[in-house]
Chain A
Amino acid sequence: QKEVEQNSGPLSVPEGAIASLNCTYSDRGSQSFFWYRQYSGKSPELIMFIYSNGDKEDGRFTAQLNKASQYVSLLIRDSQPSDSATYLCAVNGDSNYQLIWGAGTKLIIKP
C-alpha cells in the first residue's frame, strides 16, 4: 500500500515568518511530487510541482525534494494570513494514472 504521510497540524506560524511543511512517501519509485493548497470548503489548487532532487523556488514558495530520504517539503517565506489553509502533498503512484495524497497539514498564520 503506497502511502503519503503529513502531520495534520495545525501548524501555527507568526505573520512574516517562514512556514515549513513536510511530507514523507513510501514508494521509492515515485517521480513526481505536488503541493496543493486547499482553503476550507474549496477545491485544491496547485502551488508547485517538483521532479528532481534539490530545491525549486517560485516567489515566496520553495519546494525541496530528497529522494534518498523520501521526503518533500514546502517552505513559505514571509507568511501572510492569506496563506492560512490546508496544504496537501501528492505523489504519483506506481500506476501511471494515479496520484496518492496525504491528508494535509492545516497551517495557521497568526497576525
Chain B
Amino acid sequence: ETGVTQSPTHLIKTRGQQVTLRCSSQSGHNTVSWYQQALGQGPQFIFQYYREEENGRGNFPPRFSGLQFPNYSSELNVNALELDDSALYLCASSSASGGDNEQFFGPGTRLTVL
C-alpha cells in the first residue's frame, strides 16, 4: 500500500462524454503526476502538478486537463472522450517536483470508452 488513492476504480463512458478522475496523494507529498497506460504498454506521462501549478506536460491534447488542490489531491479531466482514451489512468505522488524522484502509484482507474 502506497497511501495513494484513486477514484473511481472503474468507469464506463461513451464517446464524446466528459470524465473526471480523482487522486489523493500520499501524506507529505506535494507533487502528483498523471499517466495513461494502454494495454501492453508502459505508462505515458500526461502532466505533473506541483504545489497547485502544472509543472510539465507530455504529448497529450488540451482536452486532457488537470487541477491540484491545496491539500495536494488532484483531478484529471478528459473532455470529448474518444475510443482510444480507453486505458488505465494512474496517478503517482512524490515529495518534490521532477522526474528523478521516487513516485508512488495509486491503484489506477480503468476507463472504458464505448
User: Which A residues lie at the B interface, using CB under 8 A?
Assistant: 4, 8, 31-32, 34, 42-46, 49, 88, 90, 92-93, 95-104
The answer to whether the Cβ of B106 comes within 8 Å of any Cβ in the partner chain is yes
Q: How large is the interface on B (under 10, 10 to 19, 20 to 34, 35 or more residues)?
A: 20 to 34
User: Which B residues lie at the A interface, using CB under 8 A?
Assistant: 2, 33, 40-45, 48, 50, 55-56, 58, 88, 90, 97-100, 102-108
A97 touches B42 (CB 8 A): no
Contacts of A31 in B (CB 8 A): 100
A43 touches B103 (CB 8 A): no
Given A45-B2, A46-B103; A97-B98 close (CB under 8 Å): yes
Q: How far is the CA of A92 from the CA of B103 in the complex (A)?
A: 12
Given A96-B98, A99-B45; A43-B108 close (CB under 8 Å): yes
Partner of B99, one of A42, A44, A88, A97: A97
